[in-house]
Amino acid sequence: MTDPRWVGRSYETPPFQVTEQSIRDYMAAVGDLREDGELIAPPTYAMVYGFDAYWQLWSDQEVALDVAHLVHGEQRFTFERPVRPGDRVTTTGRLTAINNRGDMDLVTFELSARDDKDQPVSNGTALFIIRKP
């Protein structure tokens, strides 16, 4: 069981340097290859620049999420501006809810991504479902 006392714990990524290569690798991986002229990352690239925050949560030995039984239940994003090569983005993720429900735990993680001028880039909310083995 995930302990609800960890609600409020937060994790910050190091600044993520967005490169053309990183955007193109992501576009190739998901098969979204259309070019708009100017190179703009697909909005769901938010998962790439923010990934380290998720990783820190999943590998936090104190919170000890059972990642082998973790599935991504829901995801929400709002996008404040397009992301381009040259951007430096820092994402902060915060545990905002841990609910123990019968044979599963529901964990809510809210993320806020900002650029190096401290302007908003995107916001995210992930709901993880951890099934009890």
Partner 1 sequence: MKTMTGLDFDAINQGQTLPSLTKHVTVEQIRQYADASGDRNPIHLDETFARSAGLPSVIAHGMLTMAFANQMVTDWLGDRSLLKRLQGRFAGMVLPGDEVTCSGSVASKDSDARRVVINLVVTNQRGERVFNKGVAEAEFPPQRSDTDAA
Cα–Cα distance for residue pair 12/9, rounded to 1 Å: 11
95 touches 109 (CB < 8 A): yes
Q: Is residue 72 at the binding interface for partner 1, with CB under 8 A as the rule?
A: yes
| Region of 4-12, 18-26, 87-95, 102-110 interacting with partner 1 (CB under 8 A) | 18-26
What is the enclosing helix (H) or strand (E) of 55?
helix 51-58
8/38 with CB nearer partner 1: 38
Q: Is residue 106 at the binding interface for partner 1, with CB under 8 A as the rule?
A: no
Q: Is residue 14 at the binding interface for partner 1, with CB under 8 A as the rule?
A: no
Binding test (CB under 8 A) with partner 1, winner from 77, 88, 92, 96: 77
34/101 with CB nearer partner 1: 34
10/125 with CB nearer partner 1: 125
Is 78 strand, coil or helix?
Answer: strand
| Interaction mask 51-70, partner 1, x per CB under 8 A | xx-xx--x--------xxx-
CA distances (Å), origin 8, targets 52, 68, 78, 99, 121: 18, 23, 21, 13, 22
Burial of 58 from C-beta contacts in 10 A (0-12 / 13-18 / 19+)? middle
Cα–Cα distance for residue pair 94/103, rounded to 1 Å: 24
Query: Binding residues for partner 1, per CB under 8 A?
Result: 22, 25-26, 28-32, 34, 36-37, 40-44, 47-48, 51-52, 54-55, 58, 67-69, 71-79, 81-82, 131, 133
